[in-house]
Chain A
Amino acid sequence: MTAHTAAHDTAAPETPAAAPGVRIRDLTVVYKTPAGELPAVRGVDLTLAPGTITGVVGESGSGKSTLALSLLNAVQPPGRIAAGSVEIDGLGDVLTLRGEDLRRARGRQVGYVFQAAQNSLNPLKTIGKQLLDLGRSHDVDDLRALVRDAKDLLARMGMDGARVLDSYQHELSGGMRQRVGIMLALVLNAKVVVLDEPTTALDMITQATILRIIREVHEERALTTLVITHDVGAVAEVADSLAVMYGGRVVEHGPVTEVLGDARHPYTQGLIRAIPRLTGDLSLARALPGRPPTLGTLPGRGCVFRERCERRMEVCETDEPMAVNRDGRTVACHAADRHLSLVKRKEFV
């Protein structure tokens, strides 16, 4: 992408501070239901390397949005973070922050675009007024500069900044509101940016443009970025690494080219096979059988994916596969383990 290199030419005069790393350890988030507390995210370890874009892909009910909210320590009741830590360089464990410290961290250190950002704006205030509110609540001294930055970001996303800031949300289309949400997440210069479904309601060309801008801003400002999506395609091109979630677990994680080019978890393989593509044999593509689990239908033990898995073994019914890290790739699957060990053995023969 030529846009990547262009971003370097226009870098700010002062070198941006180094991007922070993010380490999620053993994170478990539970939701209170009539059937007791059930885990939406369970025992998740995920490291976001400084300066990288990590894509988290999962279907509805995979726990991906809950994981994203945990980065802000913003899980709302009936949800509760039951265990684990989220360490962000320069900020410490977000899960121990309370009150004013937490409020400041949100927006200043961790920028966030909520899912359906187009519906999270205040209908009674112009976008500009909301921008100023945001600036004041985070003690921004130079509000003029903030407005300038906002207009600049909006212009890059193809909008007339001055006009947008004078508008109420109902005067903007869904795609425009989505871009306003992205602007609000970036404008305070947070170093960790979380984007939950940033392009879901957008057309293909707009999606491609927004993703390119996300990538450009990410590189210019040396950010650490997390993109949450249900659509592998929406992150395949911008992400450096890809984490695949299923039933509250990260089942596979690694560099994006390796996870897509040589998927090891049967769910990842099935998901890739299910993507409508422009080329290739139509008959090879097919939907995954079954359907994604919900909190209520998650199996109590064993592998979360076994119901839909074509490589299910006896051990999958009883034992949960451990996440195994090998050569920078993480896979949680009994069958993948066996496959790998077979390959290994062959190599040694």
Chain B
Amino acid sequence: MITGTGITKTFKQRGGVLGAREVPALRGVDFAIAKGGAVSFIGESGSGKTTLGRIIAGLESHDAGEIVIDGVPMSSLSHRRRQPYFRRIQLIHQDPYSALNPTRTIHQTLEAPLRLRARQTGRPRSWADQRAEELLAMVGIDPGYVLPRYPHQLSGGMRQRVVIARALTMDPEVLVADEAVSMIDVSLRLGILALLKDLRERLDVGVLFITHDIATARYIGDDGELYVLYRGQVVERGATEKIIADPVHPYTQSLLSAIPVLHGLERPGAERVVPREMQREGEPDAGCLFARRCPFGTERCANEMPVLERGPDAEQEYACFHPRRRSVIPVGVGE
């Protein structure tokens, strides 16, 4: 179990025409990822979702807040003593083309961390080779074919499976998948998503799925939980299926409305929400962060910042003064 409370991070931008300025990347985010669970962070670029993923994987520091891994607050440990905890959280990169060393065969790529793992767990060296084959089989590729090959000899989908196998060498509790399918051919994406779902069930590994495409979040498990991030704040949170079916925050509704309608198969939702403006960099922080773009913003929204609160439905939280259900998602023509 990994929990975070009040995670805050501010980037300082140097130089530029405006001189140095501070960009809040995360504004006090709370989250929890259970063993074997599925949590998705959804948002556009600048939402802080990638930064949060990197903080959770121990690759980035945060300014305030606490991360607790298996009951141990990370702030109580020295940098060195934290490492074994963060090793339980493995990051899967977006780009399977640059995540693997091009001069090493897949066998060499998997061998190094597995030897380390063998030493840590007191297993013989021969265990590493056997485990490499097991892991590749587990991610759905033929070890005999893949092991002697170099990354450039493999397709994007296969490479991403190798990257996942490498993450599994450390017996992680949580896989952090940051846009893990966005660079994969469309016909193969569901295969990678199904693999993540399958790993949850077989290994009881948690998946933290970071994406800008809400639809993909459904496919790592219908028991998943969704966090919608906007400019470093969680603006809506709840069960994935619930948030997709009944979004109440206008930003969530905008994200869902932006998903293209497959004409011929679907009709657009009756109340699609289009933001009034596009996102701008370096916006001032007055009131609700989404107020300027929100089609339903009021004076209160411009002056006061809403906090994440539980709605009437206990399983849904949102940060909005004017929450309202709207039918924004496409409706199947046959339904």
Contact = CB atoms under 8 A, between A and B. Distances in A.
5 contacts: A158-B278, A271-B186, A278-B256, A287-B194, A291-B185
Contacts, number: 135
A120 interface: no
Interface in A213-251: 230-237
B144 to A, nearest CB: 17
Interface residues on chain A, size class: 35 or more
A35 interface: no
B190 A261 contact: no
A202 to B, nearest CB: 9
A304 to B, nearest CB: 14
A204 B44 contact: yes
Interface in A247-294: 256-262, 270-272, 274-280, 282, 285-288, 291-292
A82 B190 CA distance: 37
A257 B263 contact: yes
Interface string B180-193: 00000111111111
Contact of A276 (B212, B218, B266): B218
A183 to B, nearest CB: 14
Contact of B188 (A257, A260, A291): A291
A197 B169 CA distance: 36
A230 B186 contact: yes
B264 A258 contact: yes
A348 to B, nearest CB: 27
Nearest to A157: B278
Contacts of A158: 277-280
A209 interface: yes
A175 B188 CA distance: 25
A203 B214 contact: no
A115 interface: no
Interface in B3-57: 44-45
A204 to B, nearest CB: 4
Contacts of A130: none
A204 B190 CA distance: 19
B64 interface: no
Nearest to A179: B278
A59 interface: yes
B187 A288 contact: yes
B262 A233 contact: yes
B277 to A, nearest CB: 7
Given A158-B278, A282-B222, A259 B189 contact: no
Nearest to A273: B190
A287 B189 contact: yes
Given A60-B156, A270-B187, A278-B330, A203 B219 contact: no
B105 interface: no
Interface string B280-314: 11000000000000000000000000000000000
A287 B191 contact: yes
Contact of B215 (A203, A209, A259, A278): A278
A237 B330 CA distance: 12
A276 B258 contact: no
A94 B210 CA distance: 45
Given A203-B45, A260-B265, A261-B333, A276 B256 contact: no
Given A59-B185, A282-B218, A236 B263 contact: yes
Given A204-B255, A206-B44, A282-B222, A276 B213 contact: yes
A134 interface: no
B187 A292 contact: yes
Contacts of B192: 287
B268 to A, nearest CB: 8
B275 interface: yes
B69 interface: no
Contacts of A277: 215, 262
Contacts of B163: none
A121 interface: no
The 9 A-B residue pairs with the shortest CB-CB distance, nearest first, are A261-B264, A158-B278, A287-B191, A257-B264, A260-B264, A208-B258, A203-B44, A288-B187, A287-B190
Given A158-B277, A204-B258, A260-B262, A274 B330 contact: no
Interface in B228-286: 244, 254-266, 274-275, 277-281
A96 B147 CA distance: 49
B155 interface: yes
Given A204-B44, A280-B332, A287-B191, A274 B186 contact: yes
A124 interface: no
B215 A276 contact: yes
Given A206-B44, A276-B193, A278-B215, A271 B262 contact: no
